[in-house]
Amino acid sequence: MKKLIALVLAFVLALGLVACGTATTEPTEQAAGEAKTYKVGVAIYQFDDNFMTLYRNELQSYFESLNNDTVKYDVTIVDGKNDMAEQTNQINNFITQGMDVIILNLVQTSSADAVIKSIVDAGIPLVLINREPLGDNGDESYAGILDNATVCYVGADARQSGTYQGEIIAELADHGDINGDGKVSYIMIEGDPENIDAQYRTEFSVKALVDAGIEVECLDDQIGNWAQAKGQEITANDLAQYGDQIEVVFCNNDAMALGAAAAITAAGRTVGEDIYLVGVDALDECVEMVQNGQMTGTVLNDHIGQSHAAVDVAVAALNGEPMDNYYWVDYVKVTK
Ligand code: BGC
């Protein structure tokens, strides 16, 4: 009998502990002298992305640096695995868990409507990052839904990065025309085509050359989905098919440029001598390659500036301040 009472007591105690555990995660005012805890939900489109890994790690460490005796940020970061259905579930969980603010890197910007609406309806401030949602006609900023003091977009204007890529080539002594036939023959390796960064970088890199009065010829334009392996495969195939005709390899990001660089070396070509190669992001290894000539240039996609801006605006929202619709961070040209 004693044993039974002890068991029942232990059970009741355990229940109490579980209940207390739940209670402490509630975003309520804490007793005097204790820190107030905010629950922050961060949904990343895919952990397996070089640039977004830097971005996500910086988001986390910057939040950690803001913890102090009076306020704590309890940050949960989830991997959307490039699957919109998975991300929608994660967002629904964030809402059920009562997140105080959500930072969202959409898998599919075309699904922005529904996701944003559910977060707004739940009264949770939302900071969209890295993938700017577009309006219904797909060609202008998503002013409709952002016209709400609890939703904003923090990012960089991809037109600028594309323009810088084109300028890096236009500013070379031969303006990218290695074989002197009066035109720049290039291949383009694109990121996820639904992503405005991919669309603008593709368009504006070439536009910068044309605007500089340079004639261009597109030999091939393919989708590499931001991935290094695809960048390598596409470049290898194009080098086999077009050989010396290829003068410039434009990659929408550095991960694909890393793949392209490997294919260029494997084909016995030399960047800076018989071919040019540009990317975007300024990953550490690519900045090094620019320094030692293995890449012609890249463009800094400032993950530190963007992640800090996203956190700062999230914190301001937690303090009840209204948001602007857009917060822009500049790109920076990187050459030798
Ligand atoms: C970066 C890419 C990254 C993509 C993810 C872009 O801004 O340049 O490297 O893969 O964002 O959405």
Whole-angstrom Cα distance, residue 242 to residue 217? 12
Does 195 share its domain with 129? no
Q: Ligand 1 pocket: which of 48, 55, 199, 301 to mutate (most atoms <8 Å of CB)?
A: 301
Is the predicted pLDDT of residue 259 greater than 90, yes or no? yes
282 Cβ below 6 A of ligand 1: no
258 and 247 share a domain?
yes
Q: In this predicted structure, what is the pLDDT of residue 144?
A: 57
Q: Whose C-alpha lies nearest to ligand 1, atom 10?
A: 226
| pLDDT for position 4 | 41
| Domain identity same for 313 and 295 | no
State what percent of residues in the chain have pLDDT above 90.
79
136: confidence class by pLDDT, cuts 50, 70, 90: low
- Confidence band of 11 (pLDDT split at 50, 70, 90): very low
- 207: nearest Cα among 241, 165, 176, 248: 165
Could you tell which of 195, 202, 204 is best to mutate to test the pocket of ligand 1, judged by most ligand atoms within 8 Å of the CB?
A: 195
**What pLDDT, on a 0 to 100 scale, did the predictor assign at position 13?**
39
Residue 303 near ligand 1, beta carbon < 6 Å: no
Residue showing tokens 């948001």:
323
191 shares a domain with 214: yes
Residue 95 lies in domain: 37-156+303-330
Residue 205 and residue 116 share a domain:
no
Residue 9 has pLDDT above 70, yes or no: no
- Answer whether residue 84 is part of any domain: yes
> Which range among 14-28, 113-127, 311-325 shows the weakest confidence by mean pLDDT?
14-28
pLDDT surpasses 60 at 21: no
Does residue 149 share a domain with residue 253? no
Report pLDDT for 30: 57
Check pLDDT > 80 for residue 241.
yes
Residues 150 and 167 in one domain: no
Query: Which DSSP letter does residue 98 get?
Result: T
Query: Mean pLDDT throughout 147-172?
Result: 93
Same domain, 117 and 210: no
**Is residue 25 domain-resident?**
no
Q: Is the pLDDT score of 148 beyond 80?
A: no
pLDDT given for residue 31 in this prediction? 61
- 304: Cβ contacts below 8 Å, ≥ 6 apart: 58
Q: How far is the CA of 201 from the centre of ligand 1 (A)?
A: 11
If asked whether residues 82 and 130 sit together in one domain, one would say yes
pLDDT higher than threshold 70 for residue 84: yes
Mean pLDDT of 120-144: 76
Rounded to an integer, the average pLDDT of 76-105 is: 98
Tell me the CA–centroid distance for residue 260 and ligand 1, in Å.
16
What pLDDT is stored for residue 247 in this prediction? 98
Render 244-272 in DSSP notation, one character per residue. GG--EEEESSHHHHHHHHHHHHHTT--BT
Ligand 1 near 230 CB (within 6 A): no
What integer pLDDT is reported at residue 123 of this predicted model? Answer: 93
Structure tokens at 264: 């260029």
**157 Cβ closer than 6 Å to some ligand 1 atom:** no
Query: Mean per-residue pLDDT for 136-143?
Result: 50
Residue 323 has pLDDT above 70, yes or no: yes
Q: pLDDT of 181-199, one tens digit each?
A: 999 999 999 999 989 999 9
Q: What is the mean pLDDT of the chain?
A: 89
Q: What is the dihedral of CA 194, 200, 201, 204, to 10 degrees?
A: 150
Separation of CA 67 and ligand 1 centre (Å): 29
CATH for 255:
3.40.50.2300
Q: How far is the CA of 2 from the centre of ligand 1 (A)?
A: 64
| 193 and 71 assigned to the same domain | no
93 lies in a domain?
Answer: yes
Instruction: Please say if the pLDDT value at position 18 is more than 50.
Output: no
What is the model's pLDDT at position 263? 98
| 210 in any annotated domain | yes
Q: What is the pLDDT of residues 302-317, one digit of tens each?
A: 999 999 999 999 999 9
Alpha-carbon span 284 to 261, nearest angstrom: 15
Task: Identify whether residues 171 and 292 lie together within a single domain.
Answer: yes
How confident is the model over 76-94, as a mean pLDDT? 98
- Is the same domain home to 79 and 169? no
Q: Please indicate whether residue 280, judged by its CB atom, sits closer than 6 Å to ligand 1.
A: yes
Domain for residue 11, yes or no? no
pLDDT digits (tens, 9 = 90+) for 197-238: 999 999 999 999 999 999 999 999 999 999 999 999 999 999
Q: What is the pLDDT of residue 95?
A: 98
- Give me the pLDDT at residue 19, please: 36
pTM of the predicted protein model = 0.87
Taking the CA of residue 155 as reference, the ligand 1 atom at the shortest distance is: 7
Measured in angstroms, how far is the CA atom of residue 132 from the centroid of ligand 1?
Answer: 11
**Is 211 within a domain?**
yes
- DSSP, collapsed to helix, strand or coil, labels residue 44 as strand
Q: How many structural domains comprise the chain? A: 2
- Please identify which residue in the block is written with the tokens 């260029």: 264
Cβ of 301 closer than 6 Å to ligand 1, yes or no, is yes
Neighbours of 120 (CB within 10 A): 15
Domain presence at residue 235: yes
Tell me whether residue 27 is in a domain: no
Percent of the chain with pLDDT over 70: 86
